[in-house]
A and B are shown apart, each in its own frame.
Chain A
Amino acid sequence: MSSHAAAAARWITVNGLDRPLPEAGSLAAVLDEAGLSGRPVAVEVDGAVVSRERFGERSLRGGERIEIVTFVGGG
């Protein structure tokens, strides 16, 4: 693995922003770091929805793109 690839392996993208992969490496850890545990959110990883029951078991790899969404006012 090149040093560039090794560095990339430690980063994920959360809502469009690059973030270091959390120590625990799970989706639950990402939500916890963002202060969103227990909040009304839906999450997808690389375009696939992950349900709340699986946040703990879903381990993340570098380069994965995570979207965390909620409801806002809209018409």
Chain B
Amino acid sequence: MTEGAPQRTVVAPADAPLCVAAVQLMSRLVVGTGKYATYAEMARCLEASGTDCVTVAVRRERLVNAAGENILDHLDVSRYRLLPNTAGCYSADDAVRVARLGRELLRDMGSKSADWVKLEVLGDRRTLLPDPVGTLVATERLVADGFTVLVYTSDDPVIARRLKELGAASVMPAGSPIGSGQGILNANNLRLCLEYLKDGDPGYPVIVDAGVGTASDVAEAMELGVDGVLLNTAIAQAADPERMARAMRDACAAGRNAFLAGRIPRRRYASASSPDDGRVT
């Protein structure tokens, strides 16, 4: 028997999977399918990100040249859970209407989770900030209609708590405006959201939705203790989207592990790592 380097198996540290409405997701990243140069690139990025839940939008079918490619030709729905959004809706009425169309599309495809929706009720076209009142109204109506509502909202802790009380399956505060790449602008508000939403209910899923620009933003969000991150533009519009997708996957895992490991407190002064005793003087 020849001697070689000892074999060492690195085992991933224990962690429970992200769980939304009693459904386990293997990845803590939810990835959007918009803004990719091609469907092939989108498919490669989804693969590299490690996600198993992707968002899609509901739009009018083209009536001319309708036989063109459909995104569903490029998404393996046995592998990815589809989460239809209500993007582009500026009223509760429109959001409920679009959510029902998305549910019908999923039902028609034979999906077992056709009632999942990423609710967005927007208040302003320039900032795409959510309309908190419309979001509350739509959440209540969709929950009453049997939907599993994952709701995009601002980082306002009080609104976040109200959305949970109305029955949202996951509250998804924005890190910063959609597609802005500004990262986490108010970490303190996110901490308060987590405190409110997980009070007596530590398993309640909180997902940062929107605003991340690069891997460190994902890591920062995860280090705060959120359960997942939803992102799209930061991957799709990166110079090398597939590499960025991989970076996001790694950052998500790194941030999660750092949160579970428990960081050291910040100190004003230094603390030597080497012992004082036995110094050569």
Asked if B63 contacts A14 (CB within 8 A), the reply is yes
> How many B residues touch A, CB cutoff 8 Å?
39
Knowing A16-B60, A41-B61, the reply to whether A71 touches B82 (Cβ < 8 A) is: yes
Chain B 17-59 near chain A by CB (<8 Å), digits 1 or 0 = 0000000000000001111100000100000000000011111
Task: Determine the chain A residues whose CB is within 8 A of the CB of B230 once the complex forms.
Answer: 75
Q: Is B224 an interface residue (CB 8 A)?
A: no
Chain B 44-87 near chain A by CB (<8 Å), digits 1 or 0 = 00000000000111111101001100111000000000101101
Q: Is B100 an interface residue (CB 8 A)?
A: yes
Query: Of residues 29 to 70 in A, which have CB atoms within 8 Å of B's CB atoms?
Result: 34-36, 39-44, 47, 49, 51-52, 67-70
* Closest residue on chain B to residue A14 by CB atoms: B63
User: How many Å lie between the Cα of A40 and that of B58 in the bound state?
Assistant: 11
User: How many Å lie between the Cα of A74 and that of B75 in the bound state?
Assistant: 13
Asked if B101 contacts A73 (CB within 8 A), the reply is no
Asked if A36 contacts B97 (CB within 8 A), the reply is no
* Closest residue on chain A to residue B82 by CB atoms: A71
Contact partner, B33, options A35, A51, A70, A73, Cβ 8 Å: A73
Counting residue pairs across A and B whose Cβ atoms lie within 8 Å, the total is: 109
User: How many Å lie between the Cα of A73 and that of B232 in the bound state?
Assistant: 10
Knowing A15-B63, A71-B58, the reply to whether A40 touches B105 (Cβ < 8 A) is: yes
Q: Is B104 an interface residue (CB 8 A)?
A: yes
Task: Determine the chain B residues whose CB is within 8 A of the CB of A68 once the complex forms.
Answer: 60-61, 63
* Closest residue on chain A to residue B98 by CB atoms: A69
Knowing A49-B100, A49-B101, A49-B104, the reply to whether A71 touches B66 (Cβ < 8 A) is: no
Chain B interface SS verdict (over half) = mixed
Q: Is B102 an interface residue (CB 8 A)?
A: yes
Asked if B85 contacts A67 (CB within 8 A), the reply is no
* Closest residue on chain B to residue A72 by CB atoms: B59
Shortest CB distance B65–A (Å): 9
Contact partner, B87, options A41, A49, A52, A75, Cβ 8 Å: A75
Contact partner, B66, options A39, A67, A75, Cβ 8 Å: A39
Chain A 9-37 near chain B by CB (<8 Å), digits 1 or 0 = 00000111100000000000000001110
Q: Is B143 an interface residue (CB 8 A)?
A: no
Shortest CB distance A70–B (Å): 5
Asked if B61 contacts A36 (CB within 8 A), the reply is yes
User: How many Å lie between the Cα of A44 and that of B58 in the bound state?
Assistant: 13
Asked if B61 contacts A70 (CB within 8 A), the reply is yes
Asked if B34 contacts A69 (CB within 8 A), the reply is no
Asked if B57 contacts A71 (CB within 8 A), the reply is yes
Shortest CB distance A66–B (Å): 10
* Closest residue on chain A to residue B31 by CB atoms: A75
25 residue pairs A–B, Cβ–Cβ below 8 Å: A36-B66, A39-B70, A40-B72, A40-B108, A40-B109, A42-B102, A42-B105, A44-B100, A49-B101, A51-B104, A51-B107, A51-B108, A67-B60, A69-B61, A70-B58, A70-B105, A71-B71, A72-B57, A73-B32, A73-B42, A74-B57, A74-B232, A75-B33, A75-B87, A75-B232
